[in-house]
Structure 1
């Protein structure tokens, strides 16, 4: 069993916690969150199951911590790869692609399935952890409507619809029935057209990677 060397107990605990979450990330790529057991995670992290319970008392707590880490990573990536001068349409396109890449990287069950396995309290906590992503999408929609780029719409409800469309790509992505690129075109083009974006800009947003889109000045 590998040992973790650290100058202090606090640093040792931080390193162990990081190894545990890395183990969850690795396992989600092969069996999905719903199929992971605490025994699997302990083995992958190179620690005993007893040691794992010293960090996370149950699977719900472990998944909440993992979800929080993934959410923070998403928000950080979005901030780093999309300069503030990107248009709302470009930002929405990037948001959709990053979300789809996250689903492919860390497959997870649908919300209803996750809620059934975690219980209502843990499910609500999970929803709270992913709220920053929804707020980010709401801000994109709000900026687009305020700036006249999108037609007027109820942004909160529209954000939920967009997230539902992204979530609907989970099974096709995980089962290799579609690709990230094709799912991105489907969701982004449908959404932008519904928001009144002209066809030329729709085509431009779905044909260029988010990183390159922001390098172009209109």
Structure 2
């Protein structure tokens, strides 16, 4: 009987299991951000988490499963949050602002996840893994591009190329984690708010008096 109790205690309950799984995902995100997907092994993740490699297999039997949760999962969640933020705004320009502020909030909230997703997209050439990321990345970009197109169509923006304007807006966002330091004088959101004030003024159509 005591042996049975010990064995049962070794199996995590639902709450404990979910907590441990999220901890492992967070550790993997940090390591993917620091060392890249190819440079991170399951042993690295297990050692950082203070568990054996065999214990790590209980949650994630292969690195691909962690990749899906850290990179593909976070990208899909970002697209969903950006979609909801855009839907809650009224005008095309307000939608652009909502899109970028929502994205900056994710940089503040989960910088390692953002960096690991970005790094994995640009440096990972495995066709199966890219197949999991590229459609979500394209949805993300198309959402912002549609907002820019609508701003041109309603006269809020000058007659600019929506694709180029979208890439300009996304470039500032994607490069931000490379130089911005957490705990500095400005949050990522505050930086993006200043970016928006500068960029939207430059894109705005001239007033007709």
Question: Which TM-score tier does this pair reach, normalised by the shorter chain?
Answer: 0.5 to 0.7
> Given the superposition, is the C-alpha separation of residues 196 and 126 from structure 1 closer, same or farther in structure 2, using an over 3 Å criterion?
same
- The structure whose RCO (Cα within 8 Å, separation 6+) is larger is 1
Q: How many pairs does the alignment contain?
A: 187
Alignment of 1:47-196 (within 5 A): 48-54=55-61, 57-58=62-63, 61-84=65-88, 86-104=90-108, 105-107=110-112, 108=115, 111=118, 115-116=122-123, 118-121=124-127, 122-123=129-130, 125-174=132-181, 176-177=183-184, 178-196=186-204
Larger Rg: 2
> Given the superposition, is the C-alpha separation of residues 89 and 174 from structure 1 closer, same or farther in structure 2, using an over 3 Å criterion?
same
> Given the superposition, is the C-alpha separation of residues 62 and 93 from structure 1 closer, same or farther in structure 2, using an over 3 Å criterion?
same
The Cα of 1:48 is off from its aligned counterpart by: 1.4
The Cα of 1:100 is off from its aligned counterpart by: 1.6
Residue 34 of structure 2: aligned partner: 34
> Given the superposition, is the C-alpha separation of residues 70 and 109 from structure 1 closer, same or farther in structure 2, using an over 3 Å criterion?
closer
Residue 212 of structure 1: aligned partner: none
Unaligned residue ranges in structure 2 (runs of 5+): 1-8
CA contact (8 A) 2:158 2:206 kept: no
TM-score by length of 1: 0.64
Structure 1: how far apart are the matches of 2:84 and 2:125? Answer: 35
Unaligned residue ranges in structure 1 (runs of 5+): 7-14, 200-218
CA contact (8 A) 2:79 2:136 kept: no
CA contact (8 A) 2:28 2:66 kept: no
